[in-house]
């Protein structure tokens, strides 16, 4: 069982609008997507998304021009 404070990161499949996919974060039962205004809560459906490590999420942030510190700001 995972801790409520633990965050799992996922990445969606690439699309025309998001060539490197979108970054998702799952904390407990709450799923968030990284959006221009920060983390937005979304329905708990991550169909097609694959689990990635924290390091892969940091790489994604750097490649996309996001501050990797956002990974520490996933809401509850």
Q: Which two tokens stand for residue 52?
A: 């990635």
Predicted local confidence at residue 1, as pLDDT: 44
Predicted local confidence at residue 76, as pLDDT: 87
Predicted local confidence at residue 2, as pLDDT: 47
pLDDT tens-digit profile, the chain (76 residues): 445 569 999 999 998 988 889 999 999 889 999 999 899 999 877 778 999 999 999 999 999 999 999 999 999 8
What does R_g of the chain's alpha carbons equal in angstroms? 12
Residue 11 near residue 60, CB atoms below 8 Å: yes
Q: Which of 59, 22, 62 is nearest to 40 (CA)?
A: 22
């Amino acid at each position: 069982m995972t801790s409520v404070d633990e965050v799992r990161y996922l990445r969606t499949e690439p699309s025309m609008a998001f060539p490197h996919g979108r970054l998702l974060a799952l904390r407990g039962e709450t799923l968030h997507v990284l959006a221009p205004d920060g983390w937005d809560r979304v329905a708990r459906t991550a169909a097609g998304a694959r689990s990635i490590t924290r390091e892969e999420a940091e790489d994604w942030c750097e490649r996309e021009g996001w501050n990797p510190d956002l990974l520490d700001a996933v809401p509850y």
